[in-house]
Structure 1
Amino acid sequence: MHSQSEYDLIIVGGGINGAGIARDAAGRGLKVLLCEMNDLASATSSASTKLIHGGLRYLEHYEFRLVREALTEREVLLGNAPHIIWPLRFVLPHVPGLRPAWMIRLGLFLYDHLGGRKKLPGSKGISLSTHVAGQPLKAGMDKAFVYSDCWVDDARLVVLNAMDARECGADILTRTKCVAASQQDGKWQVTLQGGDDDAERVVTGKMLINAAGPWCASLIDPANGAIKAETKANIRLVKGSHIVVPKLFDHDHCYIFQNPDGRIVFVIPYQDDFTLIGTTDVDFKGDPAKVEISGDEVDYLCKLIGDYFATPISAMDVVWSYSGVRPLYAGEGEVANASKVSRDYTLKLEANKGKAPALHVFGGKITTYRKLAEHALQLISKQLGVADRPWTATETLPGGDLPNASFDDAMMNYGTRYGWLPEAMLKRLVRAYGSRIEKLLDGCNGVHDLGINYGHDLYEAEVRYLIDQEWVFEVEDLVWRRSKLGLRLSGDQIAVLRKRLASAKPNQIAAQ
């Protein structure tokens, strides 16, 4: 751990909100420490549907501000990180008896125009009898609508924000838990536990940020929470689960399907050879670290596929599943249906005279994380008496400075420069690292320079880069969050990687 012990901001939580606030604050010159008890994006922020989207169905709940902000952010983020974010086209079949066609058309008109869309194509009607997206579907469906949204590698988005925060001077401490935080002499005194020796150390901060996601409420629980705070959190924990199956179709369109219960489910091409299906909405009780998909959720998603696709699937087809817990801010009243609780974020500021301020982050979604951070910095700047100077809208994330902000141009450029790399491997590396591929491959002039091949074009050079630059400690960090190679590597190959990671401590001091 570092010798510095006094900070402007101490942020608890290494998900997308914590990492986004850390990046924005550090880029403004504030002294920032972020602590995360596990790996970055180890909970909700790696368990999303992996979309940068406006939230078409939120229009039904009249959440126009949230939708407008999210739609505007789609194109901002597309420019910030064109390697890990890219456009998708979604097909919404019209099903008589569910939402009427006029309502869908009206919703898509608003969706096209609320956010000042410039780069993405607009919506249109199609006939499934002639469109490629109709081929795998059951006969009898003809009318459908097509619209745009974007894909994001959610876990990598978190890591890139943390990397940029570190490059701006922030201290990012993973596997470091906030075990106590209280006021002393007008500052926050925070006890951290972690590091190589799992020792405790105390740091002080002018302001504390609670961005602990599903743990944000338990962290400030008056009875046994680590943070002594005055804010009360009315949080509703909602579980969302996804399944991954061998690919169900060959085209590159996605689907958004309506269900009779009012929910919608996305069906998305995933990692070239698979299809991602989700999500569910189920109230959750218990430890968010132990969340997992239930048999009922698997059946729910498989049944929906059977309702729309000519070829049904069953639980036997599921090759991987993941679940996350969304900490939705329930406000003052109760909402009966979990899917109707707002996905908007709420920032609660504690700023009592004579005491150090605290900011509690409740709710939110990946698409609006950057705006959430800007809004948080408005409040933080006022409390710390510094100028509020937003900067992140026009600055690329690490690796995002691609020629013409174009992945295709980058592939041509790096294809020429690294002609010795297999094309599939080059595509995976450019998608993951963007221009940082140059750092990863520094000094390499052929495959023979990459070191040990752990399987599926994962070489020692990449493993070393991930350890030194991206806080990889354990094999799950590498094969499920920094990549999705867990879908392809065998149990024996993962065991070799596990042993490799245990053999050397990450060189994180050098990376800081």
Structure 2
Amino acid sequence: MESFDLLIIGGGINGTAIARDASIRGATVLLVEKDDLAQHTSSASSKLIHGGLRYLEYGEFRLVREALKEREILLRTAPHIVRPLSFVLPHAGGTRPWWMVRAGLLLYRLLAWGSSLPSVARGDYRAPLKPEMRDRVALYSDALVDDSRLVVLNAVDAAERGAEIATRTELLSAERVGDVWHAQLSGQRTVSAKAIVNAAGPWVADVLGGRLSEDSRSRARLIKGSHIVVPAMWEGEQAYILQQPDGRVVFAIPYEGQFTLIGTTEVPVSSPDEATITAQESDYLCAAANRYFERQLTPGEIVWSYSGVRSLYDDGETDPKAVTRDYRLELDDDPGAALLSVFGGKITTARALAAEALDRLGIEGRKSTGWSALPGGDIYPAFNDYLISLSEWMPQPLVGRLARSYGTRIKQVVGDALLLKTLGRHFGAGLYEAEVRYLVRHEFARTAEDILWRRTKLGLHMSEAECKALSSYLRQVSR
């Protein structure tokens, strides 16, 4: 029977961050994910690395301060997929008083003291707004992230440090046998582990009660968040934070060059399987944008939508927007092999969560995730010269996309190619065979959906026929 120090259940941001940190500390790690990496909640975020300005309203000062610290770390360690983003906050009647908004922003900046981010949006950022929304406007900065790539890069780094990342592998059951767990996995595989980390996100309770036959003191609160993508609503790179009369805020963010991302909703659900946007949510998000922008949206303009179910720690709040976004780590009291379950958490704070989780488990070793670059994030001064050399034969938009996705590992994607035709078959929207091969070999991709919606967002730009051609190619090469 194969044995590991740590068996991690769940291939989202928390699970992969824990796998990375544990591997750096020298532990032997097996991470199992029943689907693809980031297939569920971790690819359904608002694509932000942020402190959570609105969390100040609920007194979550520790969480905001930690998130702002982690924001700075990610800007330095993953600069290819985490980039500064200027926010415009217009004020509308019937929402929080203007003095409260200004006070909140002042406190937010104080908590982020020493940040490398600017606080000024460029261009005529008032122009897209309705005239009555242009008088009171505040500015601040956070960061934009490719959420699913952040998950994948944590997994890649963990694997390169010795971890086994087993996607499409499900935990069926596990039982304590003395000081170890014996776990049954799909594919008739049995392994042992000194400790299990339950980082299954919205399935955390199912893993505890159904797969491990364990009770928990903590409870998960399942909240669905949905987003819509529409054709770009303004020119410029600034984002908007839109206060709503119900007390919620909705983000409107430039997305993939040609689109605007709008979200999120907050709807209590009873099952992770309810991760589907409803007509009511689409209407709500269109109305949220229409309250502020001159250009008026209709649901018929939605080109794509997605939903995710967040597993929040149930702190007893009745209002979904007031439920804490902080995480809770529960270490099981039973003797023998350790079991730690993760409730809640944010993409921004996953690295800090991972460090605390491993400290709680007593897994010691070198702790260096803080300023250790994620794969591709080790940008060096001459890297721009390399990109310029690529531009001599590769279209500039393609160079830009590959650099933003892979950072310095663009060299592994491109290889020795000096002409577009040597990148192999072109599937459409700048996706060439060389990139597909890289994603399959190094980033755990298996299907067209993995590639088009989680490793890239090229599904927004490719035709149905092109997507089918990619699927057929992947079936052939997997034989």
Tell me the TM-score range normalised by the shorter chain: over 0.9
The amino acid of 2:429's aligned partner reads H
Q: 1:187 aligns with which of 172, 180, 188?
A: 180
| CA–CA separation in structure 1 for the residues paired with 2:218 and 2:471 | 39
Q: Report if the CA contact (8 A) 1:328-1:341 is conserved.
A: yes
Instruction: Supply the distance in 1 between the matched residues of 2:318 and 2:9 (Cα, whole angstroms).
Output: 31
- Cα deviation, residue 390, structure 1: 2.1
- 1:72·1:116 contact (CA, 8 Å) conserved in 2? no
Residue 352 of structure 1, CA deviation: 3.2
Matched to 2:350, the amino acid is Y
- In 1, Cα distance between equivalents of 2:74 and 2:213: 36
Equivalent residue in structure 2 for 1:68, among 40, 65, 68? 65
Q: Which one of 146, 150, 159 corresponds to residue 153 of structure 1? A: 146
Distance in 1 between residues matched to 2:212 and 2:93, nearest whole Å: 52
The residue type paired with residue 358 of structure 2 is: L
Q: Deviations over 1:397-447 (max 9, x none)?
A: 00001125xxxx744531224521110000000011111111111121211
**Corresponding position: 1:303 with 2:291:** no
- SS of residue paired to 1:477: helix
Query: Would you say 1:134 and 2:131 are equivalent positions?
Result: no
> For the Cα contact (< 8 Å) 1:123–1:145, is it kept in 2?
no
Q: 1:359 aligns with which of 340, 364, 388?
A: 340
Distance verdict in 2 for CA 1:177–1:337, change over 3 Å: same
Gaps of 5+ in 2: none
> Counterpart of 1:325 in structure 2: which amino acid?
V
Three-state SS of the structure 2 residue aligned to 1:391 is coil
1:399 aligns with 2:376: yes
Per the alignment, residue 55 of structure 1 pairs with 52
Q: How many residues align?
A: 478
- Determine if the alignment matches structure 1 residue 168 to structure 2 residue 153: no
Report deviation, 1:123. Answer: 6.8
Pick aligned residue for 2:200 from 208, 212, 215: 212
Residue type of the alignment partner of 1:373: A
Q: Residues 211-250 of structure 1: matches in 2 within 5 Å? A: 211-221=199-209, 225-250=210-235
Amino acid at match of 1:330: D
Letter of the structure 2 residue corresponding to residue 25 of structure 1: A
* 1:341 paired to 2:314: no
Trace 1:80-119 onto structure 2 (pairs within 5 A).
80-119=77-116
- 1:374 match: 355
Distance 1:493 1:140, change over 3 A: same
TM-fit CA distance, 1:74: 0.8
Structure 1: distance between partners of 2:193 and 2:54: 41
> How big is the shift at 1:289?
4.0
TM (norm. structure 2) is: 0.97
The Cα offsets for residues 336-391 of structure 1, whole Å up to 9 and x where unpaired, read as 111110010000001433x10111001000000000001111112x2x5x34x421
Q: TM-score, normalised by structure 1?
A: 0.91
C-alpha distance after superposition, 1:40-95 (max 9, x if no partner): 00000000000000000000000000000001111101001000000000000122
Structure 2 distance, partners of 1:192, 1:70, is 35
Following superposition, the deviation at residue 160 of structure 1 comes to 0.1
Structure 1 stretches lacking a partner, 5+ long: 194-198, 507-512
Maintained 8 Å contact 1:43/1:289: no
Q: Distance in 2 between matches of 1:149 and 1:477?
A: 28
Amino acid corresponding to residue 207 of structure 2 in structure 1: L
Corresponding residue for residue 255 of structure 1: 240
Please tell me whether the aligned partners of residues 187 and 205 of structure 1 are also in contact (alpha carbons under 8 angstroms). Answer: yes
SS of 2:431 mapped into structure 1: coil
User: Secondary structure at 2:349's aligned position in 1?
Assistant: helix
Residues of 1 paired with 2:306 and 2:326: CA distance? 23
- Aligned to 1:454, the other structure's residue is in SS state strand
Identity %: 48
Distance 1:106 1:410, change over 3 A: farther
Paired residue for 1:427?
400
CA contact (8 A) 2:8 2:19 kept: yes
